Structure 1
C-alpha cells in the first residue's frame, strides 16, 4: 500500500480502494499549492492498476472544501485567470475520467471550487450539516472549474442557473431533492458510507464498471441512437471477457464471483 503525506494532501493507494484527503485547515481552501499536490496524488493513484475505487474527502468538521483561494483573484489578468481555471479543469478532468468510480464524501461546507471538485466525482455523499453552493457571481466572476458545465448536466439548466445567478447555498436535503447528491448521512459518517459503497463496487466486474462509466459519461452528450450504439459496442466487448464467463458461472453455481478484471 502506497502512502503520500504532503503539506495539504494525504493519500493512500496500491490497494483496491484509494483515498485522498484534503488537509488545509480550517476550511480546506483550494490554493495553488493544494491543487498541485492533488494533481500528484491523483496521478499516482491512476497509475496503480489495482485501484478499483477512490474516495475523496476532507479533514475536520467545518468544510469539505470551502472554495478557492480568493486572495489570488485581485491580481489576475485575462491570461492568468484563464491559466488558473484551466489548471483546475485539467486536474478535475483526471478525476472525472478515471476508469474506476470516484466517491466524494462531503463532511462540511462545499462551496465554489469545492463543489466543482465534488461534481467531478461519480457519486456524492453529504453529511446532514453540509451546505453547498457556487457563490462566484457575488465576486464578479463565474464558476471556472467546469461548474457551469457539470452542474447543468447533472441537475438541469434551470436549477443550475438558480444556484449560479443567485449564489444561494443548498442544504443537504435541498441538494438531494434536485439530484445534486446521491445520499445524506448523519454527521461524521460520510467517509464510512463512502467505504460501504466502494466495497459494494468491488464485488462487481471491474471491466464492466469501467465500460458502464464510459457509456454513461460519453453517452449523455450523444443523440439517443448514438448512445445506444455505444452501449451495444461495450456489451459486445464484455461478452468476450473472462469476467463475464466467471460472472455467469458463479451465478449458476450460486456463489460469489471472483473477478480478475480480464
Structure 2
C-alpha cells in the first residue's frame, strides 16, 4: 500500500488542483466480486490523470481486501469501455516532461500484477490505452458492440502501455502488427477470432456475463486463484523448462496451504469446501 500511496502522490501532477477525482471510478461489491466502473461517460471514459490515479487507488485497496476474490472492470455509458488516453492532457508536454509519466507506476502494470483475477467487460470503443488496459486484464468479455484498436500510429506515435508487448503475447506478432501498423479498428467477432477476446456475448450482456464468470471463479480458493494467475503469467515470460519448474513450486505452495488441505479433505468427504484464503 505504501508503494501505491507514493505513486498516487506522483499522479496528482495530472489532476487539476481542487478536483475531486474519486467519482471517476466507482466500486460495487457483490459477494466476493468487486465491480469497478470507469465513470467518465461524457469523455468516453478516456484515461486522464484523475481516472488513472483513482483506478490505481481502487485496485490497491481491492488487492488487500480479503472479502474480494475477483475484480470486474467496465466502462460507464452506452458508447465505450475506454476510448483511449486523454490526448489533450499530454499534447503540450515535452519529451522530458513525458518521460517520468511514462516510467512511473502505471495502471496497466497495477492490473497485470494484481494478485486477484481481473476481468474486462468491454462494450463500444476499446481503443489505444483502453485496449491496452483490457489486454492487461486476465480475461476479456466483450459484447457485440465492442470495437478494438491500437490507433496511436494515426497520431505519429506508437502504443506505450503494452500494445506492442502484452498484445503480441496475447494474439501473436502478426495480428499485433496488423492492428498497430494499420491503425484500424476491429469488431468484436474479429477480436474473438484472433484471441483478443475470450468470451463474446450478446449486446448489453457483457457486465452480467463477466460477473457470472467472476462468481464462478470466486467459489474457489483465493490462494489457488493467485497461484494460477502467477503461473500462467510466467508462461509468457519464461522458457518452457523454467516455467514448468515454476509451476511445480506453485503447486507445492498450494498443496501446503490450508485451502489446499481443505479442498482435498472436502473432496474425500464429499462436501463443499470452505476456503479461507490461507
TM-score tier, shorter chain, comes to: over 0.9
Pairs within 5 Å for 1:125-140: 125-140=141-156
Is 1:61–1:108's contact at 8 Å kept on the other side of the alignment?
yes
1:215 is matched with 231
Quote the offset at 1:242 in angstroms.
1.9
Is 1:126–1:190's contact at 8 Å kept on the other side of the alignment?
yes
Quote the offset at 1:15 in angstroms.
5.3
RMSD of aligned Cα (Å): 1.8
Quote the offset at 1:238 in angstroms.
1.6
Quote the offset at 1:222 in angstroms.
0.8
Quote the offset at 1:5 in angstroms.
8.5
Structure 2: gaps (5+ residues):
1-19
Pairs within 5 Å for 1:8-27: 8-12=24-28, 16-26=32-42, 27=44
Give SS of 1:158's match.
Answer: helix
CA 1:181–1:14 in structure 2 vs 1: closer, same or farther (change >3 Å)? Answer: closer
Structure 1: gaps (5+ residues):
none
The answer to whether residue 138 in structure 2 is matched with residue 122 in structure 1 is: yes
Give SS of 1:110's match.
Answer: strand
Work out which of the residue numbers 164, 184, 192 in structure 2 matches 1:148. 164
Give me the whole-angstrom Cα distance separating, in 1, the residues matched to 2:21 and 2:99.
Answer: 29
Answer with 29-38 or 75-84: which moved more: 75-84
2:195 is matched with 179
The answer to whether residue 38 in structure 2 is matched with residue 38 in structure 1 is: no
Give me the whole-angstrom Cα distance separating, in 2, the residues matched to 1:261 and 1:155.
Answer: 33
The answer to whether residue 241 in structure 2 is matched with residue 235 in structure 1 is: no
Answer with 229-238 or 241-250: which moved more: 241-250
Give me the whole-angstrom Cα distance separating, in 1, the residues matched to 2:124 and 2:30.
Answer: 28
- Number of residue pairs matched? 258
Give me the whole-angstrom Cα distance separating, in 1, the residues matched to 2:210 and 2:106.
Answer: 24
Is 2:28–2:36's contact at 8 Å kept on the other side of the alignment?
yes
Question: 1:221-248, CA deviations, whole angstroms, 9 ceiling, x for partnerless residues?
Answer: 1111100000111111222122122212
2:178 is matched with 162
Give SS of 1:216's match.
Answer: helix
Is 2:32–2:215's contact at 8 Å kept on the other side of the alignment?
no
TM-score (norm 2): 0.88
Answer with 23-32 or 224-233: which moved more: 23-32
Give me the whole-angstrom Cα distance separating, in 2, the residues matched to 1:62 and 1:205.
Answer: 36
Kindly report structure 1 stretches of 4+ aligned residues shifted beyond 6 Å. Answer: none
The answer to whether residue 212 in structure 2 is matched with residue 196 in structure 1 is: yes
2:80 is matched with 63
Work out which of the residue numbers 129, 139, 145 in structure 2 matches 1:113. 129
TM-score (norm 1): 0.93
Is 2:41–2:75's contact at 8 Å kept on the other side of the alignment?
no
Question: 1:34-61, CA deviations, whole angstroms, 9 ceiling, x for partnerless residues?
Answer: 1112122212212312220001001111
Question: 1:175-225, CA deviations, whole angstroms, 9 ceiling, x for partnerless residues?
Answer: 011100101111111110111111111122211111111111123211111
Give me the whole-angstrom Cα distance separating, in 2, the residues matched to 1:114 and 1:136.
Answer: 12
